[in-house]
């Protein structure tokens, strides 16, 4: 991926290395990341229960959190944001560039394709844990988008985990993770996220609620594909092998793969992100069409 040619976002809030407010290491000591280990899943369920966040929304490779947060931590936090808000290290600059390219694309195509203006989300880089509008963010949760404060939370340690666990990794795979989270923000702007949350509140079973989560996740995958197609048009980001890398990543982080890896079998009703085949399919739909509209049949 050639990420150096596009705009660089100044909406990265760099909280790495700061005092993130108590309890550090409690979760990461379980070695979980992206909700993979059963220990991490149990702990996340407890956190979800304690913070009032639906635990299903805390568990997964790259997820969305819902609901106004009541963070259990009240200490003030320090941030290490530089004067213009831009990180100066290589990975930080990479993230700011990818975010800048999501801003460039969605600012252009959201009015064109959906007739609404794009408002840019903030991306919070943190290490260990930090506060979010959806409760305390922990690295073990994996990256997520919080609709309450319209921020994406990312601990880049997740990328190491992706690389170690799935043998994947690489610029475009990481960009896909960021684009997926921004995809949730687009869902929020389109009014899809609040509507699905409402439907989940009214769902009569866990399976029904999970099926709605899968739609939200596959839509974010599709929007990540829409972004990539348009970013390539605007900034020529794609290089040989990038699409294959993204597809391999989408396959690796399917719920069936994650569950099979974690406990030896998969339970389709408990899927909250979609199977490997589904994630690949919808990322591809977005990539090939470059159109929001092409993703919307998912919601039917
Ligand atoms: Zn997601």
Three-class SS string for the chain? CCCCCCCCCCCEEECCCCCCCCCCCCCHHHCCCCCCCHHHHHHHHHHHHHHCCCHHHCCCCCEECCCCCCCCCCCCCCCCCCCCCCCCCHHHHHHHHHHHHHHHHHHHHHHHHHCCCCCCCEEEECCCEEEEECEEEEHHHCCEEECCCCEEEECCHHHHHHHHHHCCCCHHHHHHHHHHHHHHHHHHHCCHHHHHHHHHHHCCCHHHHHHHHHHHHHHHHHHHHHHHHHHHHHHCCCCCCHHHHHHHHHHHCCHHHHHHHHHCCCCHHHCCCCCHHHHHHHHHHHHHHCCHHHHHHHHC
- The alpha carbon of 264 and the centre of ligand 1 are apart by a number of angstroms equal to 23
- The alpha carbon of 55 and the centre of ligand 1 are apart by a number of angstroms equal to 14
- The alpha carbon of 83 and the centre of ligand 1 are apart by a number of angstroms equal to 31
- What average pLDDT does the segment 13-18 reach? 86
Burial, 46: exposed, middle or buried (Cβ in 10 Å; 0-12, 13-18, 19+)?
A: exposed
Query: How many residues are listed for the chain in this entry?
Result: 300
- On whether the CB atoms of residues 8 and 96 are closer than 8 A, the answer is yes
- The alpha carbon of 214 and the centre of ligand 1 are apart by a number of angstroms equal to 9
Question: Where is mean pLDDT largest: 25-29, 33-37, 295-299?
Answer: 295-299
pLDDT the model gives residue 84: 61
pLDDT the model gives residue 295: 98
pLDDT the model gives residue 272: 81
Write out the residues surrounding ion ligand 1, Cβ under 5 A. 62-64, 217, 220
Q: Torsion over CA of 284, 257, 127 and 172, rounded to 10 degrees?
A: -30
pLDDT at 37 over 50: no
- The alpha carbon of 60 and the centre of ligand 1 are apart by a number of angstroms equal to 8
- The alpha carbon of 215 and the centre of ligand 1 are apart by a number of angstroms equal to 10
- The alpha carbon of 195 and the centre of ligand 1 are apart by a number of angstroms equal to 16
pLDDT in tens, 218-239: 999 999 999 999 999 999 999 9
- On whether the CB atoms of residues 184 and 62 are closer than 8 A, the answer is no
- On whether the CB atoms of residues 104 and 6 are closer than 8 A, the answer is yes
Q: Which two tokens stand for residue 192?
A: 């899809």
- The alpha carbon of 22 and the centre of ligand 1 are apart by a number of angstroms equal to 27
The packing angle between helices 206-235 and 90-114, to 10°, is: 100
- The alpha carbon of 259 and the centre of ligand 1 are apart by a number of angstroms equal to 16
- On whether the CB atoms of residues 85 and 14 are closer than 8 A, the answer is yes
pLDDT the model gives residue 247: 82
- The alpha carbon of 206 and the centre of ligand 1 are apart by a number of angstroms equal to 18
- The alpha carbon of 217 and the centre of ligand 1 are apart by a number of angstroms equal to 5
Q: Which two tokens stand for residue 117?
A: 């203006």
| Pick from 58-67, 170-179, 182-191, 277-286: least confident | 58-67
- The alpha carbon of 154 and the centre of ligand 1 are apart by a number of angstroms equal to 12
The full set of domain ranges for the chain reads 12-299
- The alpha carbon of 95 and the centre of ligand 1 are apart by a number of angstroms equal to 17
- pTM, two decimal places: 0.77
């Amino acid at each position: 991926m050639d990420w150096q040619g596009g705009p660089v976002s100044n909406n990265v809030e760099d909280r790495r290395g700061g005092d993130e407010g108590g309890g550090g290491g409690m979760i990461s000591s379980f070695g979980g990341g992206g909700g993979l280990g059963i220990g991490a899943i149990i702990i996340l369920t407890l956190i979800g229960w304690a913070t009032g966040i639906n635990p299903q929304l805390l568990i997964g490779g790259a997820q969305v959190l819902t609901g106004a947060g009541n963070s259990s931590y009240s200490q003030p936090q320090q941030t290490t944001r530089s004067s213009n808000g831009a990180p100066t290290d290589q990975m930080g600059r990479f993230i700011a560039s990818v975010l800048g390219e999501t801003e460039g694309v969605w600012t252009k195509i959201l009015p064109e394709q959906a007739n609404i203006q794009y408002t840019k989300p903030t991306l919070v880089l943190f290490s260990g844990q930090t506060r979010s509008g959806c409760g305390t963010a922990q690295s073990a949760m994996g990256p997520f988008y919080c609709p309450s404060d319209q921020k994406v939370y990312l601990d880049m340690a997740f990328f190491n985990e992706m690389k170690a666990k799935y043998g994947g990794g690489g610029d475009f795979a990481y960009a896909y993770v960021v684009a997926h989270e921004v995809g949730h923000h687009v869902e929020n702007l389109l009014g899809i996220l609040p509507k699905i949350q409402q439907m989940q509140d009214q769902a009569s079973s866990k399976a029904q609620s999970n099926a709605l989560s899968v739609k939200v996740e596959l839509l974010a995958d599709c929007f990540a594909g829409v972004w990539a197609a348009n970013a390539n048009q605007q900034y020529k980001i794609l290089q040989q092998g990038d699409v294959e890398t993204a597809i391999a990543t989408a396959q690796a982080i399917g719920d069936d793969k994650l569950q099979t890896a974690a406990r030896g079998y998969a339970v389709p009703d408990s899927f909250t992100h979609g199977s490997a085949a589904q994630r690949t399919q919808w990322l591809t739909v977005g990539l090939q069409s470059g159109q929001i509209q092409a993703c919307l049949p998912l919601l039917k």
